[in-house]
Amino acid sequence: MKNFLEAPYLIEMVRTTTNMYAHGWDERNGGNISLLLDEEQVADYVDTSAVIRTIPTGFKAPELDGKLFLVTGTGKYFKNVQYAPEVNLGLVRIVDGGETAELLWGFEDGGKFTSEFPAHMMSHVARLKVNPANRVVMHCHPANLLAMTYVHSLDEREFTRTLWQMCTECIVVFPEGVNVLPWMLCGTNEIGEATAEKMLTARLVVWSQHGIYGAGQDLDETFGLIETAEKAAEIYMKIAHLPRVNTITDEQFHLMEERFGVKGREGYLS
């Protein structure tokens, strides 16, 4: 059996959590990541028949029965993942219609998965319906996106258009736009269900006054989605109080659509 710490996806998870902390997106134990893995990716590194312990999930997700996830732990600091991944990360298998997680590796201090696990799993269910290649759900607290939710309308069309107008690349990176939730109590099934519903139409969901959820095919893509939206929000927060002399027009957005073979969300451009 190979060393799980040398698995490529484990190494990439460590790099990603470290980078997210360095960006200031994941203060203290803020933020979480879950990565869907195939049995064949895991088989050489972990005996999947050896269950360390079981953990109740508190929700139902029969669509995920038997699926494996590498996930960050509750109360764990992203800055510490690189030093003790076996404590701060865990590999779990979903069973019993989603109501139980079998721990196969990690959480060696007796911990368990993030408190946002329901929101992650529900978002995975939603994104797999839209695109079976989507395997990552990532949550963090980028400062400028949070700030934007205090001073900008939360209307999804207006919020998206503002972000698109801040950086030329935005409509290419997230042509489906950004969905937005009003403030909701975190760590609940209710916010998980609301986030999953939003995930059916966009890979980015802003939690007002809290953070953002992103989904993608791999850790790089998902990180890049959030990174791009956060850069746009940073530019907005720098200029929001100033008169806007120039902007990217809808005609120019259409040129971008043609050039890069993307289509902005229906009804968001004139």
Catalytic residues: 116
Give the C-alpha separation, 82 to 257, whole Å.
40
In sign, the C-alpha dihedral spanning 259, 262, 268, 270 is positive
- Paired residues of 180 in beta bridges: 206
Which is nearest to 236 in space by CA: 181, 183, 184, 158?
A: 158
Phi and psi angles of residue 86, each rounded to the nearest 5 degrees, phi first = -70, -15
* Cα–Cα dist 123/128, whole Å: 8
Cβ contact 73:112 at 8 Å? yes
**CA quadruple 95, 97, 100, 101: dihedral sign:** positive
Burial classification of residue 60, based on how many CB atoms lie within 10 Å of its CB (0-12 exposed, 13-18 middle, 19 or more buried): middle
Residues across the chain: 270
